[in-house]
Amino acid sequence: MKSQPAIDPKAFERVLNRNVKLPLAAGLAGAVVFVGLIFYLLSVIGWVEHTDQVTRNATEAQRLSVDMESSMRGYLISGDIRFLDPYQAAQSRIGGELDALRALVADNRGQVARVDRIAAAQKSWDAYAADLIALRRADQDYRQVVNAGRGKALSDVMRNEYAAFLNVEQTLRFDRNNEANRTSLVVVGAYVLFSLLLTGALGYFGRRQLSQLSDSYEAALAELTQHAEVLQQQAWLRSAQTELAAELVGQLSALELGRKALAFFARHIGTSVGALYVREGQGQLRRAASYGFSATAEASPQVFSSTEGLLSQAVSERRTVVVEPVTADYLKVNSGLGDASPRAALLLPVGHEGLVNGVIELGLMHAPDERTSTLLDTVAGTIGSAIAAARYREQLQEVLAETQQLNEELQVQQEELRTANEELEEQSRVLRQSQATLENQQAELEQTNSQLSERTDALDQRNAALKRVQLDLEDRAEELQRASRYKSEFLANMSHELRTPLN
């Protein structure tokens, strides 16, 4: 890393005092000013809300008064008692509304007087309405009382008082808003002017020192940032390599190994489709696993010759092949919602001990960047070693299967030998019986000397055949011992070879 520029501690302390302490003090003063302004505005907002509440209560009381008047008129015109339901409902509430309104404006004597006048007029109108309703119920002449105009005069008084009351409240609300706006503008303007002056002074006096410190720290931070990015990149690569190595540990088949490797690439570099091709003994490439394939791609050929297409090119050149751009009919990415085409295809040869034993084909939605290429180069050897170990295990399983078959054949031969021995024992028993018969029938044997001679020749032939069978069985036993010794030596060699790549 490059050496960092020297920084004068005294200059730094001066800049710190000038550019940190003064702004902190100014910020503290501004905070105090703004806290006071906020409390003031909250107070003004409280009074505005109080005015709105008074206006709502006054409007509600006026609405109840209008409902009573309208309900009474409906009853006077129709004579239907149902028209009095709104009148009765409003009559039970209007007194409480006026009392609440009087409590809200208790600090304003003029408004209290208006509420009292409205309450008095309402009380007079209630008595007037009660008289008219009584006359209508008694079917007496109520029109004369209506024509006298007393009810209209009371309604006009209440209407005028309500209008004056609401006008006063709206005026108070307007005045309070204007006062709050003026105060806020003055305070904010003064603080902004103070901040501008202070900022200009700090900028004028501290610009040179800050510039030097900024250049020094920018160079150091840039270098640290670059170093941190390199370390982060290395940590990411090591973590990914460790993760892949952990996933590929164990006795995995080529299919399981390929699925885990392709899922790893999908998580870390965002591949949407991929396949693992394993190189066979004759150089052919066989598709061992796939990821994200469509039905058409799954139905495509799974074995490719050593001289066919880009797969063989990647194997022969031992380098990563990138195909970009990819046409729509080259490869498909299949999902539950549909399918799409990747933007780029990548062929990564993997190998072990200098020999390429497989190729990974990946479909990407974008061209691989440097980070992706580095990861691919890093894990190629790990995947190649895992493929080699899987192939060794497959070969070992094949050898074990052959050995098992040889053991079964040996057991069959042993069974045949046992059967032959039993037959030989049986023949020996028969021979003994014949000898006893010959001893007991010596006289008969003398008479049948020619027949005995023939039987003796046949017995000699049988004994010779038995000796040949015994010699054959001994040869087979020696062959089985050699096969068992070869098996033990082969298993020991294979165990040594399996431990060597894993270490």
> Average pLDDT of 261-270?
81
Q: What residue ranges in 365-482 does DSSP mark as E strands?
A: none
Query: For residue 225, how many other CB atoms are within 10 A of its CB?
Result: 10
Write the burial class of residue 357 (CB in 10 Å: 0-12 exposed, 13-18 middle, 19+ buried): buried
Residue 5 has pLDDT above 70, yes or no: no
pTM: 0.39
- Reading the block at residue 270, the tokens are 């965002």
Closest CA to 76 of 125, 134, 159, 121: 134
SS (H, E, C) 72-83: HHHHHHHCCHHH
Rounded Cα–Cα distance for residues 91 and 65 (Å): 8
| Segment of 147-151, 212-216, 273-277, 471-475 carrying the highest mean pLDDT | 471-475
Q: Helices H, strands E: what count in the chain?
A: 12, 8
Residue located via tokens 């209630």: 126
Residue pLDDT, tens place only, 301-340: 677 776 767 777 777 777 787 777 766 556 666 565 556 6
pLDDT bin (cut points 50, 70, 90) of residue 4 is very low
Q: At what angle do helices 370-440 and 150-247 cross, to 10 degrees?
A: 50
Which of residues 309 and 259 earns the better pLDDT score? 259
> Average pLDDT of 66-86?
84
Residue 68 has pLDDT above 70, yes or no: yes
> Average pLDDT of 74-89?
84
Rounded Cα–Cα distance for residues 405 and 410 (Å): 9
Write down the pLDDT at residue 94: 86
Q: Helix, strand, or coil here: 415?
A: helix
Residue pLDDT, tens place only, 210-233: 676 667 667 767 787 888 888 887
Residue 466 has pLDDT above 70, yes or no: yes
Residue located via tokens 């195909």: 323
Lowest mean pLDDT among 16-20, 89-93, 221-225, 481-485: 16-20
Which residues face 348 on adjacent strands? Answer: 360
Angle at 413 between CA 408 and CA 415, to 5 degrees: 95
Q: What is the dihedral of CA 162, 163, 169, 171, to 10 degrees?
A: -170
Rounded Cα–Cα distance for residues 378 and 381 (Å): 7
Write down the pLDDT at residue 445: 63
Query: For residue 314, how many other CB atoms are within 10 A of its CB?
Result: 23
Closest CA to 64 of 80, 47, 40, 88: 88
Write down the pLDDT at residue 333: 62
Which of residues 427 and 2 earns the better pLDDT score? 427
In the chain, what is the straight-line distance between the N-terminal and C-terminal CA atoms, in Å?
A: 36
Q: What residue ranges in 135-233 does DSSP mark as E strands?
A: none
Residue 436 has pLDDT above 80, yes or no: no
pLDDT bin (cut points 50, 70, 90) of residue 207 is low
Residue pLDDT, tens place only, 385-423: 888 787 777 778 778 888 888 888 888 888 888 887 788
Write the burial class of residue 408 (CB in 10 Å: 0-12 exposed, 13-18 middle, 19+ buried): exposed
Write down the pLDDT at residue 11: 61
pLDDT bin (cut points 50, 70, 90) of residue 19 is low
Write down the pLDDT at residue 3: 46
Write down the pLDDT at residue 2: 45
> Average pLDDT of 174-193?
81
Domains, in order of start, for the chain: 9-212 (1.20.120.1730), 251-402 (3.30.450.40)
Write down the pLDDT at residue 359: 82
Rounded Cα–Cα distance for residues 467 and 453 (Å): 21
Residue pLDDT, tens place only, 347-378: 788 887 777 878 888 877 777 777 788 888 88
Residue pLDDT, tens place only, 450-463: 776 777 788 888 88
Write down the pLDDT at residue 301: 64
Rounded Cα–Cα distance for residues 480 and 108 (Å): 122
> Average pLDDT of 66-87?
84
Write down the pLDDT at residue 209: 62
> Average pLDDT of 260-271?
81
User: 133 near 145, Cβ under 8 Å?
Assistant: no
Write down the pLDDT at residue 375: 80
Instruction: Tell me the average pLDDT of the chain.
Output: 78
Write down the pLDDT at residue 1: 44
